[in-house]
């Protein structure tokens, strides 16, 4: 299921399904976003604070549903991640969203929402920048626009244009993308919101996790058969934990090789998406071709209509 592509001048619904922020930060970031050429509609509880959450669970879910229902709203971008999406997801109405499909974008904790809506509704969603992100970063901004506008005609990832890309088990594949934040993916296992990786191309990233924690999470994915049944892998930014410098530790590259590359599936490492910049946009549920002869990733089908 495809949502209508975003156009400049559209009204973007802004919601906070997870964490909260100070009013000054919210106003500044929303102003910056409007300057890109959009109108905005702000969820009723974006400024709310309920502990570390942007309002109570039903309220955050209500904000999200309101944006899908509202005919004035053309697309939805989450203000920030943090934690809390899992708490509000039981209160959303999938049938209503199916009747009002829209572009929805976010990352980090929003991983859960993106993959759930794709899994249940076949709605292509977008793992990409949020309102709080640094949209002055040119590459981040351009990939977001190219993924969500113009029927995705301009979307192409040239792996040769990025530094430090590593490719293993090099052969070209086609498939649908799923994934996002590693810890959020793992937290969904055994729940209604569990990610489906069968015959998919899995992309993962994470921030401030110690090596042993990344090991534990990748092992969990392996033991739950979430890695073996993938077609391939795209590894993004694993922003390191600054205190994780023990003498006898694994290096991240060693761990990723052992847990992922050793499976013999095509693997791209160090693609710039995640909690640093640039943070390029990837379509959850989007059909792509990974051409490892030309080192290109491009759509097999449009991501939006």
Question: Rounded mean pLDDT of 211-236?
Answer: 96
Higher-confidence position of 245 and 137: 137
Pairing of strands 287-291, 282-284: unpaired
3: pLDDT strictly greater than 70: yes
3-state secondary structure the chain: CCCCCCCCCCEEEEECCCECCCHHHHHHHHHHHHCCCCEEEECCCCCCCECCECCCHHHHHHHHHHHHHCCCCCEEEECCCCCCHHHHHHHCCHHHHHHCCCEEEECHHHHHHHHHHHHHHCCCEEECCCCCCCCCCHHHHHHHHHHHCHHHCCCCEEHHHCCCCEEECCCCEEEEEEEEEHHHHHHCCCCCCCCCCCCEEEEEEEEEECHHHHHHHHHHHHHCCCCCCCCEEEEEEEEECCCCCCCCCCCHHHHHHHHCHHHCCCEEECCCCCCCCCCCCEEECCEEEEECCCCEEEECCCCCC
246: pLDDT strictly greater than 80: no
Q: Integer distance in angstroms from the first to the last C-alpha of the chain?
A: 9
Domains of the chain and CATH, by start: 11-152 (3.40.50.10740), 157-299 (3.50.30.60)
Residue 212, C-beta contacts closer than 8 angstroms, at least 6 positions apart = none
241: pLDDT strictly greater than 90: no
115: pLDDT strictly greater than 90: yes
Give residue-wise pLDDT tens across range 180-223: 999 999 999 999 999 999 999 999 999 999 999 999 999 999 99
Q: Which of 62, 108, 187, 188 is catalytic?
A: 108
150: pLDDT strictly greater than 70: yes
* 108 annotated active-site: yes
Give residue-wise pLDDT tens across range 40-57: 999 999 999 999 999 999
Q: Which of 45, 62, 205, 209 is catalytic?
A: 205
CA 64/CA 283 separation, integer angstroms? 19
Q: How does residue 20 score in pLDDT terms, banded at 50, 70 and 90?
A: very high
* 275 annotated active-site: yes
Pairing of strands 232-240, 267-269: parallel
Per-residue model confidence (pLDDT) at position 244: 75
Strand-pairing partners, residue 83, are none
Task: Return the residue matching tokens 């499909």.
Answer: 101
Contact 77, 131 (CB under 8 A): yes
Per-residue model confidence (pLDDT) at position 88: 97
Directed axis angle between helix 211-223 and helix 252-259, to 10°?
A: 10
Question: Rounded mean pLDDT of 101-116?
Answer: 98
Strand-pairing partners, residue 11, are 39
Backbone φ and ψ for 11, nearest 5 degrees, come out as -95, 120
Per-residue model confidence (pLDDT) at position 245: 66
- CA torsion, ordered 65, 68, 70, 71, to nearest 10 deg: -170
Q: Which of 85, 133, 209, 275 is catalytic?
A: 275
CA 179/CA 285 separation, integer angstroms? 9
Question: Rounded mean pLDDT of 268-294?
Answer: 97
CA 56/CA 62 separation, integer angstroms? 10
Whole-number mean pLDDT of the chain?
96
* 294 annotated active-site: no
CB-neighbour burial class of residue 161 (10 A; exposed 0-12, middle 13-18, buried 19+)? exposed
């Amino acid at each position: 299921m495809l949502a209508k592509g975003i156009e400049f001048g559209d009204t973007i619904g802004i919601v906070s399904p997870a964490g909260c922020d100070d009013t000054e930060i919210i106003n500044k970031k929303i102003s910056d976003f409007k300057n890109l050429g959009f109108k905005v509609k702000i969820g009723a509880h974006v400024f709310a604070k309920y502990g570390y959450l942007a309002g109570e669970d039903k309220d955050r879910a209500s904000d999200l549903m309101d944006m899908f229902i509202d005919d004035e709203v053309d697309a939805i971008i989450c203000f920030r991640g943090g934690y809390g999406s899992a708490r509000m997801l039981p209160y959303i109405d999938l049938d209503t969203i199916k009747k009002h499909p829209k572009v929805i974008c976010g990352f980090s904790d929003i991983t859960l929402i993106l993959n759930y809506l794709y899994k249940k509704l076949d709605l292509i969603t977008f793992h990409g920048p949020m309102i709080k992100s640094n949209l002055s970063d040119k590459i981040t901004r351009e990939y977001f626009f190219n993924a969500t506008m113009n029927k995705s005609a301009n979307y192409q990832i040239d792996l040769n244009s990025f530094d430090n890309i590593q490719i293993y088990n090099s052969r070209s594949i086609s498939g649908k993308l799923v994934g996002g934040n590693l810890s959020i993916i793992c937290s969904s296992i055994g729940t209604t919101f569990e990610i489906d990786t069968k015959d998919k191309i899995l992309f993962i990233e994470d921030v401030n996790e110690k090596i042993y924690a990344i090991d534990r999470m990748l092992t969990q994915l392996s033991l739950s058969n979430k890695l073996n049944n993938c077609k391939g892998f795209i590894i993004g930014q694993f922003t390191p934990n600054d205190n994780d410098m023990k003498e006898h530790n694994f290096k991240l590259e060693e761990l990723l090789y052992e847990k992922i590359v050793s499976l013999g599936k095509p693997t791209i490492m160090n693609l710039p998406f995640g909690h640093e910049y640039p943070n390029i946009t990837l379509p959850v549920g989007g059909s792509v071709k990974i051409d490892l002869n030309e080192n290109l990733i491009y759509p097999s089908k449009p991501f939006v209509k």
